[in-house]
Amino acid sequence: MPDKVELRQLENGDYEIDFNNEDMDKITIHNWGKSKFSCRTLLAAAALCCSSGSAIYELGVRKPGAKYNDIQSSVTWTNGKDEKGRRIIESIDIHVQVDVPEEHLAEFKEVIQEHEDNDCFVVRSLKRGIKAKIKIRRI
């Protein structure tokens, strides 16, 4: 069964995104039409989270129990327009910085190589072009 995220309009006009995951809170979007919220932010955050989490996971696979001293990540993106002049995300740049203990440098080099060769699953999916279907209908 596919994973599912749900969006619904609340009585006060706000919108709520439910990730159906006990480890993640719902997100409420206030006054969506006039807010600075952007779905691009969620897409960029997914790529950032996946890349960072994958870097943490891959180190632990190579040396069980190994941890970074610190990890700080950021993502930026460039907006553009498609062939019809509609807005798109042109590119995403993810920066993952880790404080690697000396004893894990060899494994860290393998983590870097893994990401250069394969990326994380979200970034790999974006690069391949995710197949998307949409159905809009009246209730």
pLDDT digits (tens, 9 = 90+) for 18-71: 999 999 999 999 988 888 888 999 999 999 999 999 999 999 999 999 999 999
- Do residue 51 and residue 75 come from a single domain? yes
Cα dist from 131 to 18, 115, 120, whole Å: 22, 23, 18
* Res. 1: pLDDT tops 80: no
Q: Residue 58 belongs to what H/E stretch?
A: helix 39-62
CATH code for the domain of 93: 3.30.300.20
- Do residue 116 and residue 50 come from a single domain? yes
3-class state of residue 52 by DSSP = helix
- Do residue 44 and residue 19 come from a single domain? no
Q: Could you list the residue range(s) of the whole structural domain that residue 27 is in?
A: 1-37
- Do residue 53 and residue 113 come from a single domain? yes
Q: How many domains would you assign to the chain?
A: 2
- Do residue 101 and residue 138 come from a single domain? yes
User: pTM of the full predicted structure?
Assistant: 0.87
- Do residue 25 and residue 86 come from a single domain? no
